[in-house]
């Protein structure tokens, strides 16, 4: 019976998950605690374990167990069938990648991460360029191994957002770009005629900031018993198990708001990880649907909720109490405008929700050009500066604030960036559905009651794991397929009111 065979497959998948957790812990430690001198040995260790994990994954079908299940459950509409289909899809992809290639690429990325950090610190792209050239070459090779119909970039996109292609994304991104550029220009013009806003800079002890951020995380529903908050250069979330989810944030002693946005964002990711069904750990039914869906959970908390009037109606008095200077003298309306200030800027992770997607579109176009061999790595600093000037009207002064600002390329995550914009689109559509079904949502948030919206997201999205594809899940939750109109209307309504545009 397939159910007995499936139980055997589940045991094998759990063994793989234990290896994956160990690898994840090594990566987390590399970002948070590892001494610099440990980089070379860590790269070798991660490379070795990545190779072994790849080999063990391919061994899932050593006795044809997986392939037989894939045939037996091909047309079934069950949880087991959905799980097997996802494993089979990943298996067919991974089988095309030689073990030697996987190990070499993992070692290359571990080495590249350390060099990228040094290059970023010194603002010298030339240090990172040789390694990025190797990474791009190997990602092109990966695309050839995996195969594709139209663009080699499609093969890389598919690893992060299954089914996504350039043919689908390019028109959506072009539509967003064409809306955002004139919309941002109108906002900038309107902002120039508005009264100046107060300066919120000051001196904010890091330990007090950590306490406040921990409070925000706890109120949102982050379980400190099943999670941990640390510090890293680039904030991230790593879930080893629903009962062990690590997030990081970063602090600025001169800016109390600097960490809060990152913390709320990463807690959104963590709530998804903590909300996955424990009983399905190790199988696709205990995993997030896609990176775009994962990003939607961080974005809905960071933007629709975390930058909303209701959220700060509850938290602003607490912020004023924690840091009376300067917040006691700043009225709520001015503070709210500062939180939602639109200002074209250099750094993606610090950009506002209106300008953010132009940062992603820029990266998408660069990655696509690199993989399709229309761009060269050595030209990236200049290309980056030109696109930032064209799209956002800002001048990039150095590599640290330009082409070296993101960690993704050093980790080989080419094809990842588009999921951020997809996450924004999903988030706006989910939030619109939540408002329809939870008419007291904003009233509850304003009173510090986050459980209703958190549980709505958990029951609608988190607990299903990969039972449904992203496309099917969006339609199940919202009643229609993914559309950019919810995001565009959200921006028009919110920022039209704030800036009178």
Quote the CA–CA distance of 277 and 223 in Å, as a whole number.
15
CB 247 within 8 A of CB 200: no
User: Vertex 383, ends 377 and 387: CA angle to 5°?
Assistant: 145
Quote the CA–CA distance of 437 and 93 in Å, as a whole number.
39
Could you confirm whether 367 is annotated as catalytic?
Answer: no
Cα–Cα distances in angstroms (integers) from residue 268 to residues 29, 188, 237, 360, in the given order? 21, 30, 9, 20
Residues 6+ apart with CB under 8 A from 497: none
Cα 400 from chain centroid? 21
CB 308 within 8 A of CB 441: no
477: tokens are 């939750």
Residues 6+ apart with CB under 8 A from 53: 16, 19, 20, 23
- The active-site residue out of 266, 273, 295, 365 is 266
| Residue pointed to by tokens 């406040």 | 212
How, if at all, do strands 227-231 and 237-241 pair? unpaired
Cα–Cα distances in angstroms (integers) from residue 318 to residues 249, 328, 415, in the given order? 20, 10, 40
User: Vertex 54, ends 48 and 60: CA angle to 5°?
Assistant: 140
Cα–Cα distances in angstroms (integers) from residue 437 to residues 296, 387, 448, 458, 485, in the given order? 18, 41, 19, 14, 19
Return the DSSP state at 245. E
Quote the CA–CA distance of 392 and 385 in Å, as a whole number.
10
Quote the CA–CA distance of 13 and 281 in Å, as a whole number.
9
Edge-first strand order for the sheet with 244-249 is: 227-231, 244-249, 237-241
Residue 462, SS3 per DSSP? helix
Q: Could you give the residue numbers annotated as active site? A: 266
């Amino acid at each position: 019976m397939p159910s007995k065979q499936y139980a055997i497959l589940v045991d094998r998948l759990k063994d793989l998950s234990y290896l994956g957790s160990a690898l994840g812990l090594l990566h987390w430690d590399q970002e948070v605690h590892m001494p610099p001198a440990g980089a070379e040995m860590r790269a070798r260790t991660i490379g070795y374990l990545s190779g072994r994990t790849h080999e063990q994954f391919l061994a899932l079908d050593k006795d044809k167990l997986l392939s037989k299940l894939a045939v037996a459950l091909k047309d079934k509409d069950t949880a087991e069938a959905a799980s097997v289909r996802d494993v089979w899809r990943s298996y067919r992809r991974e089988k095309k990648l030689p073990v030697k290639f996987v190990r070499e690429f993992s070692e290359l990325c571990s080495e590249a991460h350390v060099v990228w950090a040094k290059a970023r610190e010194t603002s010298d792209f030339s240090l990172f360029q040789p390694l990025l050239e190797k990474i791009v070459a190997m990602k092109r090779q990966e695309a050839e191994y995996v195969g594709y119909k139209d663009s080699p970039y499609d093969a890389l996109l598919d690893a992060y957002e299954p089914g996504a292609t350039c043919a689908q994304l390019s028109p959506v991104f072009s539509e967003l770009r064409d809306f955002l550029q004139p919309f941002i220009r109108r906002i900038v013009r309107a902002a120039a005629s508005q009264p100046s806003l107060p300066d919120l800079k000051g001196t904010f002890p890091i330990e007090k900031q950590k306490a406040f951020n921990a409070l925000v995380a706890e109120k949102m529903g982050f379980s400190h018993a099943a999670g941990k908050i640390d510090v890293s250069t680039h904030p991230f979330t790593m879930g080893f198990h629903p009962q062990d989810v690590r997030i990081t944030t970063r602090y600025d002693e001169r800016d109390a708001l600097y960490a809060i946005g990152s913390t709320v964002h990463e807690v959104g990711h963590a709530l998804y990880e903590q909300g996955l069904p424990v009983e399905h750990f190790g199988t696709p039914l205990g995993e997030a649907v896609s990176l775009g869906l994962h990003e939607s959970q961080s974005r809905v908390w960071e933007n629709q909720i975390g930058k909303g009037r209701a959220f700060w109606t509850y938290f602003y008095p607490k912020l004023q109490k924690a840091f009376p200077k300067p917040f006691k003298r700043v009225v709520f309306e001015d503070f709210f405008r500062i939180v939602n200030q639109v200002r074209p800027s250099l750094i993606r992770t610090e950009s506002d929700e209106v300008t953010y997607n132009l940062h992603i579109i820029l990266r998408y176009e660069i990655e696509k050009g690199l993989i399709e061999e229309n761009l060269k790595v050595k030209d990236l600093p200049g290309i980056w500066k030109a696109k930032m000037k064209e799209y956002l009207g800002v001048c990039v002064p150095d590599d640290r604030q330009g082409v070296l600002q993101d960690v993704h390329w050093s980790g080989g995550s080419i094809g990842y960036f588009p999921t951020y914009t997809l996450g924004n689109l999903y988030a706006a559509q989910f939030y619109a559905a939540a408002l329809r079904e939870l008419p007291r949502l904003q009233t509850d948030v304003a009173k510090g009651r986050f459980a209703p919206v958190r549980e709505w997201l958990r029951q609608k999205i988190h607990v299903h794991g990969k039972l449904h594809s992203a496309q099917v899940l969006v339609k199940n939750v919202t009643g229609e397929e993914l559309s950019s109109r919810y995001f565009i209307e959200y921006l028009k309504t919110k920022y039209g009111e704030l800036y009178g545009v």
